[in-house]
Amino acid sequence: MHNSNHMKTTKSNSTSLMSIADFPSLHRCHRFAIVWIIGLLLFASTGDHGRATEWHSQTSNAGGSVTEPQAFPMVHIYFADRNGRYLQAEERLFAGSEREIDRGRAIVEALIKGPKPGLMRTIPAGTQLRAFYLAPGRRAYVDLSESITEQYPGGCKSEILTLYSIVNSLILNMPEVSTVKILVGGRDVPTLAGHIDIRYPFTADMSLIR
């Protein structure tokens, strides 16, 4: 009887000791199982997100229908100096679409709005940009409203500065453009104010910039 109780006690103690001895191992297994499950969940979540991101990128690049607004790079647009003899650059930063046609439109509209204090406008107030588009051969078309001719105040020199403020501002900021054609009211006109023939495209003239 005593031996039986002793054996039970020994067996019980032995079981307890085994449980205590194996507790760290069991604990490590539990921790490993938990970490493994969490890892699987994270992998599944990350994998789905990665595939969604990859699909979104492929859709954007393939279809071109998904575009994110981006800031335009710093550009230099040209206004007349205080004496009305040369063109001087004014730094501008435009925000919007990255499309070339939007950049060109933004440049011309900034010229129409006029310069900051210190320089002079080259396009009469009230002028509107009717259209801007790019054609094969790196040519840009700028279609201005008829008010530019109806309200034009200057002579030959002013007309030169008007034309080249537009031409230089576009060509020197847009690698996609090498020539600029000016239209008025959607059609060809001989001149803006009777001095410079604008029936043909213009290239940039760096000699006017100071």
* Residues 97, 26: Cα–Cα separation, whole Å: 60
Among 35, 66, 97, the domain boundary falls at 66
137 and 43 in a single domain? The answer is no
Kindly report, residue by residue over 149-190, the tens digit of the pLDDT.
Answer: 988 887 899 999 999 999 999 999 999 999 999 999 999 999
127 and 201 in a single domain? The answer is yes
Per cent of the chain over pLDDT 90 is 57
19 and 81 in a single domain? The answer is no
pLDDT for 44 equals 39
Among 11, 33, 66, the domain boundary falls at 66
49 and 105 in a single domain? The answer is no
130 and 169 in a single domain? The answer is yes
* Residues 116, 91: Cα–Cα separation, whole Å: 10
59 and 109 in a single domain? The answer is no
pLDDT for 151 equals 83
CA distances from 128 to 12, 135, 171, 182 (A): 98, 21, 20, 13
Q: Let me know how many helices (H) and strands (E) the chain has, helices first.
A: 4, 7
118 and 140 in a single domain? The answer is yes
Kindly report, residue by residue over 122-159, the tens digit of the pLDDT.
Answer: 999 999 999 999 999 999 999 999 999 988 887 899 99
24 and 127 in a single domain? The answer is no
Mean confidence (pLDDT) of the chain: 75
* 26 pLDDT higher than 90: no
Least confident span in 47-61, 107-121, 123-137: 47-61
Among 66, 81, 108, the domain boundary falls at 66
39 and 124 in a single domain? The answer is no
Least confident span in 63-72, 94-103, 182-191: 63-72
75 and 145 in a single domain? The answer is yes
Which of the four pLDDT bands, split at 50, 70 and 90, describes residue 94? Answer: confident
In this structure, are residues 161 and 183 in contact, taking their beta carbons and an 8 Å threshold?
no
52 and 98 in a single domain? The answer is no
**What's the total number of domains in the chain?**
2
Range of the domain at 56: 1-66
114 and 165 in a single domain? The answer is yes
